[in-house]
């Protein structure tokens, strides 16, 4: 592998000398680009000697012209270690004022950032927000470890040991990006249909299945839009749009649909909503209260009517005659695949971490044993990939 290692001016820089040696020792090629501050800790000559490659400290005055672009073409990935709060801030706002930030912004290949700094800096609102911005853009972050800090004291912010960085880099780069370039909409959670400003009609869906699918798709390199009602922490590297009602979900899904390659509707969309939600909190004045419900639009059915190239995957959460109902829905909604499950079965359905599913396409059905939702996500995406490849031919 060919790595660019971007070194910024953190005291942990001494560990990066070892990191470069480790990569070189196992046969990788390494070029180092340093910020000005980094050169105050270690001279470029040291990195030149151990990498046996040129070291860049400035965009100007290099042996080759437009060296920053040529380097990004040369490498397989860039690792920024240590990444200071300053560099992370610049990367998140697209500032390219030095060689390191200029190379980083020109990267079209995997970019891995390894933050290292004092704990208070690492936990600051700015660094937290900047790192999450980078994650949503597909930048991979290797979390700092906990322990003795170079600035004194203990805490989170330590640059991991070089073996650990090598291990994590290998893991990140070995993940197959089989869905790279594909845009996938995933819906998750149960919709909340307002009754009045404080109450809603909901259902037991937790959003776990949809979030697991979004994560697995992002890990395969897809550009994921997660339209969710769930309070779960969303996975990294996905664009999250929080919604509440079926109508909001429908609006967002429709807005994203044309440019997408697939929609996986794992959300439990309410079939009915309150006809006219009260504008003020309903008082408990009477002994009975009648709510008039009207039918919600069937988002998936509508998508099935207008799809052109998009692959549509639906869920059929059933409590009886699971497969029959699911097959009927596959046809009625014009879907490519439906994931059927009996939500009353132990270890399946809402809120638990496992599921028992049958994947149904026009070609037939495949029943699986109880699995983690993360594993179910993988088998769904394996099928989706088959559809997308056929689609291309």
CA atoms of 304 and 263, how far apart (whole Å)? 10
CA atoms of 218 and 175, how far apart (whole Å)? 11
Residues that are catalytic:
151
Name the residue among 176, 269, 169, 274 with its Cα closest to residue 218: 176
CB 105, min distance to ligand C5P, A: 39
Q: Phi, psi at residue 113, to the nearest 5°? A: -115, 130
- Residue whose CB is less far from ligand C5P, 31 or 329: 329
CA atoms of 375 and 200, how far apart (whole Å)? 32
CA atoms of 200 and 182, how far apart (whole Å)? 35
Name the residue among 235, 296, 305 with its Cα closest to residue 271: 296
CA atoms of 262 and 254, how far apart (whole Å)? 12
Which residues of the chain form contacts with ligand C5P (CB under 6 A)? Answer: 246, 265, 267, 269, 271, 296, 298-300, 314-316, 329
- Residue whose CB is less far from ligand C5P, 218 or 246: 246
Helices (H), 31-111: 36-41, 44-51, 67-74, 85-93, 99-105
CB 267, min distance to ligand C5P, A: 5
CB 189, min distance to ligand C5P, A: 10
> Tokens at residue 173, please?
């780069």
Q: For the chain, what's the residue count? A: 393
> Tokens at residue 314, please?
């639906």
CA atoms of 257 and 205, how far apart (whole Å)? 23
CB 377, min distance to ligand C5P, A: 15
- Residue whose CB is less far from ligand C5P, 47 or 200: 200
Name the residue among 274, 225, 231, 229 with its Cα closest to residue 254: 225
Confirm if 214 and 235 have CB atoms less than 8 A apart: yes
Helices (H), the chain: 13-25, 36-41, 44-51, 67-74, 85-93, 99-105, 119-122, 125-136, 162-174, 208-219, 246-257, 299-306, 322-332, 373-392
DSSP secondary structure string for all residues of 76-88: SEEEEEEE-HHHH
- CB-based contacts of 121, cutoff 8 Å, min separation 6: 85, 127, 157
CB 248, min distance to ligand C5P, A: 12
- Residue whose CB is less far from ligand C5P, 287 or 292: 292
- Residue whose CB is less far from ligand C5P, 216 or 312: 312
- Residue whose CB is less far from ligand C5P, 23 or 315: 315
- Residue whose CB is less far from ligand C5P, 301 or 368: 301
CB 311, min distance to ligand C5P, A: 13
CB 163, min distance to ligand C5P, A: 45
């Amino acid at each position: 592998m060919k790595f660019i290692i971007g070194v910024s001016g953190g005291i942990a820089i001494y560990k990066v000398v070892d990191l470069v040696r480790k990569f070189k020792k196992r046969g990788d090629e390494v070029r180092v680009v340093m910020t000005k501050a980094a050169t105050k800790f270690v001279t470029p000559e040291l990195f030149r000697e151990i990498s046996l490659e040129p070291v860049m400290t400035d965009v100007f005055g290099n042996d080759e012209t437009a060296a920053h672009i040529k380097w990004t073409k040369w490498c397989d990935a860039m690792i920024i270690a240590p990444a200071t709060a300053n560099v992370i801030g610049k990367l998140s706002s697209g500032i390219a004022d030095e060689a390191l930030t200029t190379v980083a912004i020109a990267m079209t290949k995997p970019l891995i950032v390894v933050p290292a700094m004092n704990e208070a800096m690492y936990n600051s609102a700015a660094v937290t927000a900047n790192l999450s911005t980078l994650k949503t853009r597909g930048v991979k972050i290797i979390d700092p470890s906990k322990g003795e800090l170079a600035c004194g004291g203990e805490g989170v912010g330590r640059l991991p040991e070089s073996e650990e960085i090598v291990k994590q880099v290998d893991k990140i780069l070995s993940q197959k990006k089989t869905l790279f370039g594909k845009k996938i909409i995933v819906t998750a959670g149960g919709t909340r249909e307002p009754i009045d400003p404080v109450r809603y009609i909901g259902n037991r869906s937790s959003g776990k299945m949809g979030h697991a699918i979004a994560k697995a798709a992002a890990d395969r390199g897809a550009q994921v839009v997660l339209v969710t009602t769930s309070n779960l922490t969303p996975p990294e590297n996905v664009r999250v749009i929080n919604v509440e009602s079926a109508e909001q979900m429908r609006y967002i899904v429709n807005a994203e649909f044309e440019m997408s390659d697939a929609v996986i509707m794992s959300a439990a969309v309410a079939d009915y909503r309150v006809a006219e939600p009260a504008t003020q909190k309903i008082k408990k004045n009477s002994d009975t209260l009648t709510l008039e419900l009207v039918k919600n639009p069937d988002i998936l059915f509508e998508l099935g009517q207008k799809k052109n190239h998009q692959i549509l995957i639906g869920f059929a959460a059933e409590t009886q005659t699971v497969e029959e109902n699911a097959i009927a829905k596959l046809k009625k909604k014009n879907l490519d695949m439906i994931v059927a499950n009996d939500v009353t079965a132990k270890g399946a359905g809402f809120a638990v971490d496992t599921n028992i599913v049958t994947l149904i396409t026009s070609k037939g059905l495949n029943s699986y044993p109880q699995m983690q939702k993360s594993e179910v996500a993988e088998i769904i995406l394996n099928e989706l990939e088959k559809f997308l490849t056929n689609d291309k031919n």
